[in-house]
Each structure stands twice: as C-alpha cells, then as structure tokens.
Chain A
C-alpha cells in the first residue's frame, strides 16, 4: 500500500492508504477530522472543500496520494490555539450565515480562498459568482454573502473588527 506524508493543520502525518483513497476519506476516516463533509461525492456541492497548499480544492475529487508532501488545512485548523475564531468563522456566526450547518465548513474554506484571490475586495456579485462551487440548501445564500463581504474587510486589514450585523 502506498503511504502518504502530509501536514494537516500544522501536524505531520504519515498514513498508509490505497491508490484510490480520496483525500476526504483520509481526513475523515484515518485522521477522524469529520468537520469536512461529503454532500454529493460527485464534485458538485463543495461541502468537502479544504485547502491544499493554500488553495481551495474539493477533497472528494483529489486522491490522498496526490496530496503527498503537501500541507492541508481543514475547518478544524482555522481557529487560533486559544480558540479564537478565524474572521471568516466569526463573520458566519455574526451574520447568521448558516442554518443546518452542513455546507458551512466548505463554504468557509471556499470563502477564505476567494478573499485571498481578490486582494482588492469583491462586490456582492463577485462573491455570489465565486460561490459557484458551493451549494447550500437552507440559507438562500443571502447571509453567507453578507458574512463574506464583512469578513473580507477584516482579512484585508481595512477594518480592525467585524462590522456588527444589524438585526
């Protein structure tokens, strides 16, 4: 069996896998990091999005062996060691950007990559376009878009703290 060595949320692991083992299977079943969800397993829904070497990927559509030697960040790796939430997580909470929460880990991971890819900031329209690969069956996306718009201000250093959501 092939073995893969990778860093997940800052910790290095060497794990035996099959050739066909998906990265999401390695994360959920071998490392018990069950924050990454599988919604469709057909590359459509984005519930499984994680970062590999800093970029968002659908972890159901990459083999574990393809991530060998790489660095993976999952939703569990975002908060600081003191438990302080990442600004994107904080914004999802503040703006009520989730209902059942199933899509949320993938949404947050995608949103962080989107913000990083748009250093000049995104319009509401660009945020909606950027979420093309993430499906949410509950929220209607509206509050997700608001949360990302607020979080990008903090992530780009244009606001010191998250703007509070108005009731």
Chain B
C-alpha cells in the first residue's frame, strides 16, 4: 500500500472530524463527503460536522485480514447510523467480537488506522467504541 502526506492532509476533514456534506438543494446530509449530492444531483453542497454517537446497523468480524492490519485481527467493521440518521462505515475498537450486536450504541473516537513503517507516515481516523455513559 502507498500513501502520500498530501493525501492524508487532504482527507483529514472526513477522517479526523467526521465531516460530511449537506446538500444545499434537498437538504440531505451524508457521509463520506462529496462535491455533489448523490440523491438529487445538486452540485451545491456544504461541509457539516456530524454527531459522534449512533448505533450499529450491521457488522462483520473479519478473520482474513489484509497485510498491514494483521495485528488488529479479528477486525470488526460496522455500519453505524448516527443520531441524525446519517450512516458511517468504520472499524470498532475496544470491544470483543462476541459483545457486538445490531442496535449496539457506539461513539466515535480518534485512533491510529495505518502505519507505513516505524519511521513513516501514520494515518489516523475515526473508529467507534461502545458508548461509555
């Protein structure tokens, strides 16, 4: 896998702050952000920060894990519906596979996602954990 510092920097909004887009025409909010609305086709959208809490709609426990992510195996990938109805796909962390269920309340946290090498680039991003309070 290859990653450039410019790319990590460019993609920081969605990945560090959970920034999505809001359509200026139909008003729908969505994630990941895009320069156009996938629902009504409008080319006018604006950035919005999304709520950090939601619940699990579906998930998988990944046993055959790609290189670079093996230390995380088994990896749990979930589709999460945030409090405002927007959906986000992200890994779960700090939870055991057999504790996860559909409907589980979760919240976003900033974690390390991928490392190039001991001295290389590090990609950070949003992961979700079971809601604490």
Partners in one complex: no
Residues of B within 8 A of A (CB): none
Residues of A within 8 A of B (CB): none
